[in-house]
Amino acid sequence: MARSRKVTVSTDAEGHTAGWAETDLAPVGAPDPTAAAFFDVDNTMMQGASIYWFARGLASRNYFTSADLARFAWQQLRFRLLAREHAGDMSLAKEAALAFVKGWRVDEVESLAEEIFDEMMAPRIWAGTHQLAQRHLAAGQRVWLVSAAPVELGRVIAARLGLTGAIGTVAEVCDGAYTGRLVGDLMHGPAKAEAVTQLAAVEGLDLSRCAAYSDSANDLPLLSAVGRAVAVNPDGTLLRQARQHRWEVRDFRTGRRAVRIAVPSTAAAGLVVGAVTAGLALQRRRRAG
């Protein structure tokens, strides 16, 4: 696999922070430097949430127990059903995310992410969505993932899929290890649109020529920031908005998949991270004993 480049952290005038991580892969067509495509990850590019499958991979490696996994999966499903993504819930998610990677080496996390992608995530990539991304690459356009997941996980997924890079949540790093603090906020909701706008300014992109793909109404700011919005496997609210705005709709689910609520997704990812934290702490205590 081509090795990914370092994370670039950018903060705009409003204080919004974004992490950008490019791969060493390039578009396959003649370069079209002012156009790009931005893809949400959870339930758009992949069935379920990347951080959840990362947690499953950690559980299979005995970093924490299956009971821990079941508990935080239920927590996320409850949050999704109740649609409780208010400021207080996001604050809780952020606090949970703070402890997840504390003390871990960045290269260790990336190595685990590569293994777990191949094992847990690759079979859950929506072939239709991946094909849409490949069409942009064939047209010479760059393709970025935009996710609330840690940017290091995002860039591993991007590299494995042959994409340009990832925009994601930034964890503070000191001497090659995570401090347990976030730089800025979770890459969620309006933050995604702000990050894409920052990237466009730096890379010379014309947002009116760019496209964005998402399954969730939480990404309406992102979808509204570009010239072409596409609802992929949309939730009910996004489907209504897509019809109202006459946005393109792509649904790669069939039968029961189309009505099943995926576990888990986007903003509640911090809750998954919190559960992983508890599991890691338990495992470390066991090892210390």
Contact assessment for residue 97 and residue 172, using Cβ atoms and an 8 Å cutoff = no
Catalytic residue among 24, 32, 42, 251: 42
CA dihedral 262, 155, 168, 279 (to 10 degrees): 60
SS3 assignment, position 36: strand
How many residues in the chain?
289
Reading phi first (left if > 0) and then psi (alpha if -120 to 50, else beta), residue 30 is in: beta
Residue 180 to residues 159, 174, 209, 237, 261, Cα–Cα distance (Å): 25, 10, 38, 34, 31
Quick check: is 24 catalytic?
Answer: no
* Distance from C-alpha of 66 to C-alpha of 53, rounded to nearest angstrom: 13
Catalytic residue among 12, 24, 32, 40: 40
Contact assessment for residue 42 and residue 266, using Cβ atoms and an 8 Å cutoff = yes
Quick check: is 42 catalytic?
Answer: yes
136 exposure class (CB count in 10 Å sphere: 0-12, 13-18, 19+): buried
Contact assessment for residue 152 and residue 7, using Cβ atoms and an 8 Å cutoff = yes
Active-site amino acid positions: 40, 42
